[in-house]
Amino acid sequence: MNYKKALAALITISITGMNFLPLPAMAKDQKDKVLKSQVSQYQIDYINMPWWESFGDENLNRYIAKAIENNHDLKVATLRVEQYRQLEKLQLAAELPTVSGGFAPTGVKLPGSTSTSGTWAFPILVRYEADIFLKNRDKTRSAKKDWEKSKIEERAAYISIAAAVGTTYFNIIKADKLIELQKEIISDRKQIYDLMTERNKVGLTSTADVVRANKSYVSATADLADLEKSRTTLLNALAVLIGESPATSSSLKRTAYNDTYLVKVPASISSEIIDQRPDYLAAEKTVEKAGIDVRVAKKEFLPKIDLIGMMAFGSSALSTAFNWGNVFGVLSAGIMADLFTGGRKVANLKLKKNQYEQILHNYYQTNLIAIQEVNDALVSLKQDDKKYKTNLDVYMLEQKDFGYSTNKYDEGMISYLDLLQKKENLLTLNKLVVSNKLDCNIDYIGLYKATGAQM
């Protein structure tokens, strides 16, 4: 009856399938590790922290650090890296043999027999696809390119968030100073309107002039409301970037305008910096992956070689099941090739080649855009710096003129109304200088981002 036991064991194996090993449950501490993202040194290096420290602003440094630690978009980017790492491991598993085993008690009644026999079987099955053409190896290389690309995209996310924090921060400082100057302008225009009203009462000023003065005063008040609205929006945005509730945004500290750092404009940017931009590096990885995918599509036409090994302990008595005399095994190898697939493999190869061509053109376009963005950022910084210095000279001249006007007023040569109008001109120029100076800081951050934090 040994052949009956062997037959029963083989039938049992075919029925029970290959996988007899339960999947291990994820422990609670492993789940917590996945859910909690900690900032590593390489993530801090992404943003080139010494460059940010060159501004000499502790508030800015603190907000950059908070964003790195708390920003949820960055946590997602880091988790995505781990996701692609596990996908690579899944593909790597396809290169290795699979081993499964289990327990399969079986009862058998053969035709023409009135007796029933039972077998206690403990099968072990090994399967392996011989990767002599390295098709599975190429699939793993393709998956690894996705993982490498995800790390580059993580770096891009950190640079982008840091740049957003810096830009928002300096825009808030700009809004603070502009609001301060706008309040002075409102105060002056209120005085001008009051003086015009008094002069109109004694016939020294027309009613039309009074209406224009009132209109100017109301317009300045509306401008103040817009500035305050913009500042509130910016504060809320900064709070979200650093992972805090917008409800607490009004308490965010910032440096006063007069203490802000005046950037140094670089004369030129090395073309080698382009090669270190995250989008350029990510595009390279995409091209490399596409090339591997084309190679895999070609290898799909090759035959598949499977090796199957099976061993089982089988006995009609459980007590003797594990005796070596009751062991039987099978080793099999098979070469299989698809004879007809309806053109699926041909279409897949053409598709992969088409995708490769698209990705290659996107890579070339990314290179051109990178050069454009760096050039645009540098030109913008240089022009705004030039504009700042020009308007600063004009402002200094206006200050001198206002000093002369003040002397004339003290000597009774001009009216207080004339002095107020001169002061408003000075305040308006001061607003322009403030905007130009902080625009340079913002342009500098734009250049930092365009160069991939390689400043």
Per-residue model confidence as pLDDT tens digits over 162-179: 999 999 999 999 999 999
CATH for 139: 1.20.1600.10
d(CA 223, CA 225): 5
Could you tell me if 341 and 432 lie in one domain?
yes
- The reported pLDDT for the residue numbered 333 is 87
Q: Are residues 183 and 203 in the same domain?
A: yes
Predicted confidence (pLDDT) at residue 210 exceeds the cutoff of 60: yes
CA distance 243 to 246: 9
Is residue 241 situated within a structural domain?
yes
pLDDT tens by residue, 240-266:
999 999 998 999 999 999 888 888 888
> What amino acid is encoded at 245 in this protein?
S
Does residue 262 fall inside a structural domain? yes
Identify the pLDDT of residue 319. Answer: 66
Query: What confidence score (pLDDT) does residue 262 get?
Result: 82
Among residues 277, 312, 336, which one ends one of the domains? 336
Which of 153-162, 325-334, 355-364, 413-422 comes out lowest in average pLDDT?
A: 325-334
Look at 428 and 23; give whichever has higher pLDDT: 428
- Decide which of 112 and 33 is more confident: 112
Query: Comparing 149 with 15, which gets the higher pLDDT?
Result: 149
Q: Structural domain tally of the chain?
A: 2
Residue 328 has pLDDT above 80, yes or no: no
Same domain, 417 and 314: no
Specify the higher pLDDT residue, 417 or 105: 417
The answer to whether the CB of 314 falls within 8 A of the CB of 5 is yes
Residue 166 and residue 150 share a domain:
yes
> What is the rounded average pLDDT for all residues in the chain?
86
Residue 402 lies in a domain: yes
Angstrom CA distances, 118 to 14, 73, 135, 314, 437, stand at 17, 61, 44, 10, 91
Per-residue confidence band for 110, with pLDDT thresholds at 50, 70 and 90? low
C-beta of residue 123 within 8 angstroms of C-beta of residue 14? no
Residue 49 has which token pair? 């922290």
pLDDT of residue 31: 35
Predicted pLDDT of residue 444: 96
Selection from 5-19, 204-218, 246-260, 352-366 with the highest mean pLDDT: 352-366
The pLDDT value given to residue 36 = 42
- Within this chain, do residues 219 and 363 fall inside the same structural domain, yes or no? yes
Reading the block at residue 233, the tokens are: 């929006």
Do 228 and 367 lie in one domain? The reply is yes
Q: Which of 38, 122, 170, 76 is nearest to 443 (CA)?
A: 170
Confidence (pLDDT) at 323 = 74
In this model, does residue 27 exceed pLDDT 60? no
pLDDT score, position 332: 87
pLDDT of residue 339: 87
* Residue 270 pLDDT: 85
Alpha carbons 359 and 287: distance in angstroms, whole number = 6
Q: Are residues 154 and 62 in the same domain?
A: yes
Regarding whether 149 and 166 lie in a shared domain, the answer is yes
Is residue 74 in a domain? Answer: yes
Give the structural domain span for 111.
1-22+96-123+303-336
As a whole number of angstroms, the distance between CA 157 and CA 366 comes to: 17
pLDDT band at 24 (very low <50, low <70, confident <90, very high): very low
Per-residue pLDDT of 374-388, as tens digits, reads 999 999 999 999 999
| 351 shares a domain with 329 | no
